[in-house]
A and B are shown apart, each in its own frame.
Chain A
Amino acid sequence: MAVQLSEAAQTRITQLIKRYPTPRAVMLPALHLATQEFPYLDDEVCQAVADLLQVPMVDVKGVATFYTMFPTEPQGACEVHICFNLSCSLKGARRLLRRAEQQLGIEVGQTTPDGRFTLRGVECMAACDKAPMLYVNDELHGNVSEEKLDELLQQKSSGE
């Protein structure tokens, strides 16, 4: 059977379609819902979203591959996103990024073999007063020292 979104997600999408001027406008909300339910957005997931929105699958795929928050390959359970733009770099963000590479034994952009961590250097997250800052999934951490980073990674790898 073809891949489908959960019933709750489908209901939500149907409700939203009624509120937006066009069904296609529900694209980003639908892809956010899909991202919560699938490890990444492959062709089958894109097809499921396309069917709900009544648009061609290529349009969904085109959008999914444009935006960085929609994964098109498997991600680690903890996505560590360290900002490396100017304000954070001025406060040592790039040292932090190298430290994370060392601690996790992977390079920026990679996922640990156990599937626990994905490490990314990301662009400004609009929290420069807390530089250097990072996200672990949707948790924001500010003023991160190397010690604090070590602790955080330790904590996350022991499954807290």
Chain B
Amino acid sequence: MEPIITRHIGTPELWRLDTYRACGGYETLAKALQEHQPDELVAMVRDAGLRGRGGAGFPTGVKWGFLPKDGRPRYLICNGDESEPGTFKDRLLLENDPHQILEGLILSCYAVGAHLAFIYLRGEFFLGARRVQEAIDEAYEAGYLGRNILGSGMNLEVLLHRGAGAYICGEETGLIESLEGKRAYPRIKPPFPANIGAFGMPTVVNNVETLANVRHIVAHGAEWYNRIGPERNRGTRMWCVSGRVRKPGVYEVPLGIPLRELIFDHAGGLEEGRTLKAVIPGGSSSPILTAEEAMEVDSDFDALQRAGTMGGSGGLMVLDDRVCVVQSAYIISEFYHDESCGQCTPCRQGTGWMTKLLHRIEHGDGRPGDVDLLLSMGANIFGRTICPLGDAAVWPVESAINKFRSEFDHHISEKRCLPDTESIL
């Protein structure tokens, strides 16, 4: 199938307005502003069944529908804080095709009635920030932003807002706090951002790839979108494949294709002589799959959930037979400890303890009972924190133990990795 979102990626200077327009850019916006009422766009996105591409996979149209109709100003935030390890699709869009994101964002603002929108970019996207700012400036100049957009009467201001290096800003309420100029401590929900979000106003937070999808749904209709992917899992996904594959990269494919196809056809499979050991399918927080499980599962949200894991942010990491699962779990655990915002004790303390224990097991100082202790720590963090970072820290470690228990036990009894392992530490 032809890619949809990434169709024009590779076109020289696609980030310029002229190039984007030559690829049909902003035609959808012009048409929609003339022919559709905002509610029709909300219905279209809802009927298309679009699910958020940032991590949780929540239906976008339903999220929009939560906004109360009480006359307060509404804000839309594009979440471009892409920080989940293994994920790099939004960077590709932001750097190469910023106008596509803008067009999706303007359409979404029209649909939900927002007159002020923010594009929150992770601080380290230096090139992305330049390209997005240039695109915003061009869009103002051309009348796609500002007052009375294309003569429709719609007003919209867009501000590019750069983060400054904090994973937790990807969590929507952490992001909102950060946008308000504070430490990014996630908020207790409810109230949900749809009711009390940024600056106390109803707020929608949508991922970059999600907004890009909106543009195509509006262009071609819900029925067209419903022909791609299995039921409840419509559209394509930009998978980010990395780790031990020949061709790491972003591959846009219809939701639901077998995971095996992504790894072995699109990403070129493994290096000569290596065999698949495990796959982390949806960013580092998603529970690990054994090779057997990965070879059987499909790539849509629901199939991955049935397999006990998740599509998450689309960051698929491939481990081959030379990789030590304990080392991998340690690296992931270290990340969540480092990025815990410090607000909730179980996460702030627990992630540190888990990391220390994994370090000890990996370095040959593990004691009998340590593996069960890890599981019990996980159980005491899980579900006991304000935001899902605590859960995200537990999933990879708990699943690694449950599926590769003998490898952990081997470290404790033999004080070293399995034979034929190449250390990644």
Chain A interface residues (CB < 8 Å from chain B): 19-22, 24-29, 31-32, 53, 55, 59, 62-63, 66-70, 84-87, 89-90, 92, 94, 123-131, 135, 138, 140
Contacts and interface: CB of A to CB of B under 8 A. Distances in A.
A126 to B, nearest CB: 4
B124 A129 contact: no
Contact of A63 (B84, B124, B181, B240): B181
Interface string B318-334: 01000100001001100
A28 B122 CA distance: 12
Contacts of B124: 69, 125-126, 135
B188 interface: no
Contacts of B88: 126-129
Given A32-B162, A123-B85, A90 B335 contact: no
Interface of B: 82-88, 90-91, 116, 122-127, 157, 159, 161-167, 178-184, 198-199, 201, 240-244, 248-250, 280, 284, 315, 317, 319, 323, 328, 331-332, 335, 338-339, 424-425
21 contacts: A19-B157, A20-B159, A26-B181, A28-B181, A29-B162, A53-B181, A62-B182, A66-B183, A67-B166, A69-B124, A69-B164, A85-B284, A85-B335, A86-B85, A86-B328, A87-B85, A94-B424, A124-B284, A126-B90, A127-B91, A138-B126
Nearest to A35: B164
A136 to B, nearest CB: 12
Nearest to A138: B126
Contacts of B179: 25
Nearest to B178: A28
Contact of A68 (B161, B164, B198, B248): B164
Given A32-B162, A126-B122, A127-B88, A24 B181 contact: yes
Contacts of B157: 19
Contacts of B127: 140
Given A20-B159, A123-B339, A94 B164 contact: no
Contacts of B122: 126
A135 B284 CA distance: 21
B44 to A, nearest CB: 29
Given A128-B315, A135-B124, A66 B184 contact: yes
A8 B372 CA distance: 58
Contacts of B248: 87, 128-131
Contact of A25 (B162, B199, B317): B199
B183 A62 contact: yes
